[in-house]
Structure 1
Amino acid sequence: MGRFPAKIDYENIRNARISENQARLASLGLQKTISELRSITTPVKSPKRKHVKVNCSSVPLRRSNRLKQVNPSSSDALISARRSLRLPSDLSPNGIDYEAEDKRPANAPFVDVRLCHSPEVSSERRCMSKGRGSVYDPVFGICCHFCRQKKLCGEEDCKRCNDLDVKQPCLGKTDCSVCHSSYGVLCRACLKIRYGEEMEEVRINKEWKCPHCIEKEGTRPYWMCNSSICLKKRKMMPTGIAIYRAREMGYDSVAHLLMDELQRREKI
């Protein structure tokens, strides 16, 4: 009970000192100075800008130079969006309607030669090895699903890459007998290194299927495409240059190595 008076005395002394200090500051005029400093340092809010709506109808539209040359009253005004050179046009240079034909294989896509200008391929520039080839051609070259290189193949009998005959299929690229899509287009080197298959065997086998179709059918467990695109879709890390490790361990290709690793993970 004796502690309460001591606490009351302390509060009284504290309040008295506060009053004394305030009176001293008032006599010196410091309170006015402090308020002035606060008003100076306080940031002034800038007024909000009003949004001015622009009438777009009075502003001319930006048009492509290609569309500026078209007469709106003519039939050329109905121009569709930009299309790939591989997509079929109305008629080929020989007057053939490719849209009425059956679906072309993936290793023989259509190229409209009227819209492209590819440099002549000389024997000096061509790589005669049966690998991926060495000449990049964005028009006549067919993109491999794994290495994604649009290069002309080094096959001696390939009329598409040697004679630039767009009607012929590329002998250096595969074509899946089921999907006929870009997933089944592989060059000779990627076919051998990544999947352990030979191009000559694939040409003879008219029922050859790409890894995507084999996986979809489920006829070969754990067999799948090991390209970086497909592995990322599975949330798996790309294998990189894994052929050296696969051969050291006695596997025919990277796909065989990956298939064995997936089997062991599932058992664990």
Structure 2
Amino acid sequence: MGSRRKKREEEEEPPPSLSEDDADGSDSPSEEGSKTEVDSSHYEQARNQRIKENMERMQKLGLFDLSLKLKPPKENHLPKKKKKKTIPQPNNSPQRRSSRIMSLVPIDYSEGKLPDPGSKENEVEIFIPEGTNPEVYTEEHEKLLGDCESTWELCVDGYDEDGNRMYDPIKGQTCHQCRQKTLAQHTNCNKCELLQGQFCGDCLYMRYGENVIEANHNTKWVCPPCRGICNCSRCRRGKGWMPTGNIYSKVSKLGFKSVAHYLIKTRLTELGSSDAEEISETSADTTLNIQTRTRASKKRV
């Protein structure tokens, strides 16, 4: 019974009074919604009218027909069938060859045997440019060639643990052959006692076939410049000959003990007594001039 009374009281309540704004005649929410609907309908009508006018203009210009022509044809979207891989079969038919090369033997591209060490293909070629004077040696020069009882190990004396040569401008000695001031064993000439008699172990062995240790123990040892067989670039240019360059590896392959042995034995010529005297005098004069220059440089130092 109480719930029915409450419902009747709610139904009999008067409607809420209008606010001051409503009494003044302002727009209600329902009126605002109706205005927006009217504005949107006007916009849609104007838009539809513009679209219609544009469509008519395009039809007059014939743009619709042109667009249909430019459209690509619709592709069939069915799944493509995968092509089967074909394995090429061996061609057993005889190979065709040009009539011009029918008589020639086919080229064999298979790896052949290595050439023999004694064949001409492996011959070592040594080229030394010609100088202003002919390079000729006699038997006297051959007798002045040195020798050694024990072999010298290259690139060890005067080198550090990493295999680099140890240079020292203060404590080092200058080699007459390579012109390098290093901390290595050097020879001392018992005849001239000059700087030209200093040769490091590697140069003395490669260029003249001698051992620096044996040379230092020999009280009668004479340096190559004093013997007239020095083949350094400076001495050779003084005689009118061109430098040989680094040819030790090629010379050793040919079986020669050193560069000096190769030069003298390959250029050994039988000459008369007068020619031999002229050659010996020329070598002696050149050696004397080199000694004089070395002494002068030593005094300047």
TM-score by length of 1: 0.40
By percentage of residues, which structure has more helix?
A: 2
- With a CA cutoff of 8 Å and minimum separation of 6, indicate the structure with the bigger relative contact order: 2
